Structure 1
């Protein structure tokens, strides 16, 4: 099996060789609190302002603060007769990653989608609600078309949020690339 760094290097090489013109559109967002005593979603929406502008917003209320131990299982899926694993499925210590964001280039690639639209931009502890506000397709579009070209298709980024070694919530972001 190839290492994550090797695959990342191959994709960087391909991005330099290939020129891709694409269109990216959010298609859905889903959020689920698995432990309703630990957290709950105030809202989790995909808002269409007009035909060409959509954004994602969500707000998570934390009921047991401060949160000092968080892991994240991140999986990228492509739709092929249902959503199938595509390239990445990894689990990281989120607190350690936020302390040293360059420690994992794959996670950094996905983190850059929402870091400017969120208050999840500091290391643990978290003693406040977590908010992702008005993340537009443009933040994702740049990554999937210029930084690391992806093939056309429908994708899902699924994130399992694990606090104190218990799965607490799942967020799923859906988009299509054409």
Structure 2
């Protein structure tokens, strides 16, 4: 089984490499995006952000997972592994003791390192079950599209199973999520808090570096 998974990962990496080669740099990759998508305004609260089509290299640097309420679940594993010198993947397995899950809220904060990690760009709390039923928020949709093919968090509530993220590869971020990357290069973190029935259940902090 492990050998088959490794073969699938290698095939996936090869496919992404071919896509990158076909793009032949940022200009050709951005050319695939329509003029309407290439530069647009996103309304978030009272602020407007203009998102530019670019290509960046994303590297996962650290991953921290913790269940604050061990009655709800526990992490079987939570780690980063290197695929090669330039790319890494993350894998997470959360054992869920409280099933089914049909009342889940999530807070996602993006942070930028500047003499410590400070809030940057967005901080949003949402009802996960409502979002999965009818996705609307543009930034959340970008995150979800990156995650859904590598996780079993890809269907509507209730959740009657453990939560798995299987080999989420950084190359996926470069070709999809960072098409619309309204941030300069540097060190960042994504802090995620999961609430189950309005009680904090667990936190997942993903640290990454963005370079050109």
Same fold (TM over 0.5): yes
Q: Does 1:44 align with 2:78?
A: yes
Counterpart for residue 204 of structure 2: 171
Unaligned segments of structure 2, at least 5 residues: 1-41
Q: Does 1:57 align with 2:87?
A: no
Report SS of the residue matched to 1:108: helix
Equivalents in 2 of 1:137, 1:160: separation in Å?
A: 22
Larger RCO of the pair (alpha carbons < 8 Å, separation 6+): 1
Q: Does 1:68 align with 2:107?
A: no
Displacement over 3 Å in runs of 4+: none
Report SS of the residue matched to 2:49: helix
Unaligned segments of structure 1, at least 5 residues: none
The offset of 1:104, in angstroms, is 1.1
More displaced stretch, 50-59 vs 21-30: 21-30
Q: Is the CA contact (8 Å cut-off) linking 1:11 and 1:148 kept in structure 2?
A: no
- In our comparison, the structure showing a higher alpha carbon Rg is 2
Deviations 1:24-50 (CA, angstroms, capped at 9, x unpaired): 211111100111111100000000132
So what's the TM-score if we normalise by structure 2? 0.75
More displaced stretch, 106-115 vs 57-66: 106-115
Equivalents in 2 of 1:117, 1:172: separation in Å?
A: 18
Q: Is the CA contact (8 Å cut-off) linking 2:191 and 2:203 kept in structure 1?
A: yes
Deviations 1:47-83 (CA, angstroms, capped at 9, x unpaired): 0132123100000110010011000001000001110
Aligned positions of 1:146-157 closer than 5 A = 146-157=179-190
Report the count of equivalent residues: 170
Q: Is the CA contact (8 Å cut-off) linking 2:87 and 2:171 kept in structure 1?
A: no
Equivalents in 2 of 1:52, 1:123: separation in Å?
A: 34
Equivalents in 2 of 1:24, 1:148: separation in Å?
A: 11
Equivalents in 2 of 1:92, 1:21: separation in Å?
A: 29
Aligned positions of 1:41-120 closer than 5 A = 41-101=75-135, 103-120=136-153
Counterpart for residue 44 of structure 2: 4
So what's the TM-score if we normalise by structure 1? 0.88
Q: Does 1:24 align with 2:67?
A: no
Decide which of 154, 159, 176 is 1:126's aligned counterpart: 159
Q: Is the CA contact (8 Å cut-off) linking 1:38 and 1:64 kept in structure 2?
A: yes
